[in-house]
Amino acid sequence: MADGTAKPDTRPNNAHFSSGPCSKRPGWSLQALSDAPLGRSHRAKVGKDKLKQAIDLTREILNVPADYRIGIVPASDTGAVEMAMWSLLGERGVDMVAWESFGGGWVTDVVKQLKLKDVRKIEADYGFLPDLSTIDFDRDVVFTWNGTTSGVRVPNADFIPADRKGLTICDATSAAFAQDLDFAKLDVTTFSWQKVLGGEGGHGMIILSPRAVERLESYVPAWPLPKIFRMTSGGKISEGIFKGETINTPSMLCVEDYIDALNWAKSIGGLKALIARADANAKVIFDFVAANDWIANLAQVDETRSNTSVCLKIADADIAALDADAQAAFAKGVTSILEKEGVALDVGAYRDAPSGLRIWAGATVEEADMKALMPWLTYAFETQKAALNKVAA
């Protein structure tokens, strides 16, 4: 009992609700990685075979078209996005579409690092999508599919025309394996292992359409390319990258962990099952929000709400009346209670986002754990508010 607020009777079996690195798959253990070829070269046959297996399983589960190339690249999703932008942009003007921190970061890189001149910014505040109808697809377009720090996603790829002249570069790191990506509309798709499948950090994936490959082979950027960004040699695509011959040395332990996650995804029914699990987890949160007026979705339009990185704000009138710093302190107090009780770890809002909660609902989270967490949100809120009222009195 804390100031009259009773603790819930049930606790989640797994308190890992972080938005990255995310919870490991159900039943995971280090023993699952016992087949990792540790101490062997990634260029030996055993290493190449493992890397190729990871690529092949990725293609199978995500339903990537046969003529699209898939590569394992350095530096997580960030490395994959930077590789795409540094290698492909500059051939024509670019529309940068952003509605949260990471999309905003790509805008900064293109304007201040690549120093491209013909750049249009199409942006929106947290909680909203920008007006996608204003995008000019005769230009190149860079956007995130799912805004990890805002919980706002594009509902589908219908806004992208099939007859576009520019390339679409999509950061899909918190969407891949939980949302249905329309690869026919995507020329470059990037993600990392540590999101929906709960893999380890440090490795990124880049998926290239034939149109993207054509650009790589016909266009040479005006700036020097670091070695880890180079996808061509002698004016031709470096095919080895897309067969498991990575540019730099990967962790074979992390590769084994990714393969384990992919095999788990395959065993439960593939992409359809992964999406269903994320949808079910997100629905638990959305139903809770609908039944409690002290909390609200940061995403303002239902069809744009993420089913992975669910972002929430404290909507209680008394808390909303506080200044921004006090609201942030209150939200931090709520997350601290959840962590102290051992029921939800790492669920604070992203540092650049509006204060509140961010609860990962991806496919590796069990629905029963999500249901067990919900009463604890109320407990933490009421406990923190009672403490605030006590101080004010």
CATH classification of the domain holding 352: 3.90.1150.10
Render pLDDT for 233-269 as a digit per residue (tens, 0 to 9).
Answer: 999 999 999 999 999 999 999 999 999 999 999 999 9
For residues 259 and 293, state if they share a domain.
no
Q: What is the DSSP letter of 168?
A: E
Q: Please give the Cα distance from 375 to 8 (Å, whole number).
A: 6
Give me the sheet containing 119-123, strands edge to edge: 69-74, 203-208, 188-192, 168-171, 140-144, 94-98, 119-123
What is the pTM for the complete model shown?
Answer: 0.97
Q: Is residue 362 part of a domain?
A: yes
174, 167, 134: which is closest to 153 by C-alpha? Answer: 174
For residues 210 and 274, state if they share a domain.
no
Q: Are 309 and 19 in contact (CB under 8 A)?
A: yes
Q: Mean pLDDT throughout 187-191?
A: 99
Render pLDDT for 131-186 as a digit per residue (tens, 0 to 9).
Answer: 999 999 999 999 999 999 999 999 999 999 999 999 999 999 999 999 999 999 99
Q: Is residue 7 part of a domain?
A: no
Full domain range(s) for residue 226:
30-266
Where a domain ends, among 217, 242, 266?
266
For residues 308 and 234, state if they share a domain.
no
Q: Is residue 245 part of a domain?
A: yes
Render pLDDT for 110-121 as a digit per residue (tens, 0 to 9).
Answer: 999 999 999 999
Average pLDDT of the chain to the nearest whole number: 97
pLDDT of 133: 98
pLDDT grade for 393, boundaries at 50, 70 and 90: confident
pLDDT grade for 1, boundaries at 50, 70 and 90: very low
Q: Is residue 17 part of a domain?
A: no
pLDDT of 3: 52
Render pLDDT for 322-358 as a digit per residue (tens, 0 to 9).
Answer: 999 999 999 999 999 999 999 999 999 999 999 999 9
Q: Is residue 13 part of a domain?
A: no
| pLDDT for residue 310 is more than 50 | yes
For residues 84 and 119, state if they share a domain.
yes
For residues 253 and 291, state if they share a domain.
no
Q: Is residue 77 part of a domain?
A: yes
Longest dimension (CA), the chain: 73
Q: Is residue 353 part of a domain?
A: yes
For residues 132 and 37, state if they share a domain.
yes
Where a domain ends, among 266, 282, 316?
266
Q: Which residues of 156-166 are buried (b: 16+ CB within 10 A; e: fewer)?
A: ebebbeeebeb
Return the percentage of the chain with pLDDT > 90, whole number: 98
For residues 374 and 256, state if they share a domain.
no
Where a domain ends, among 213, 244, 266?
266
Render pLDDT for 29-78 as a digit per residue (tens, 0 to 9).
Answer: 999 999 999 999 999 999 999 999 999 999 999 999 999 999 999 999 99
pLDDT grade for 5, boundaries at 50, 70 and 90: confident
Q: Are 155 and 179 in contact (CB under 8 A)?
A: no
pLDDT grade for 392, boundaries at 50, 70 and 90: confident
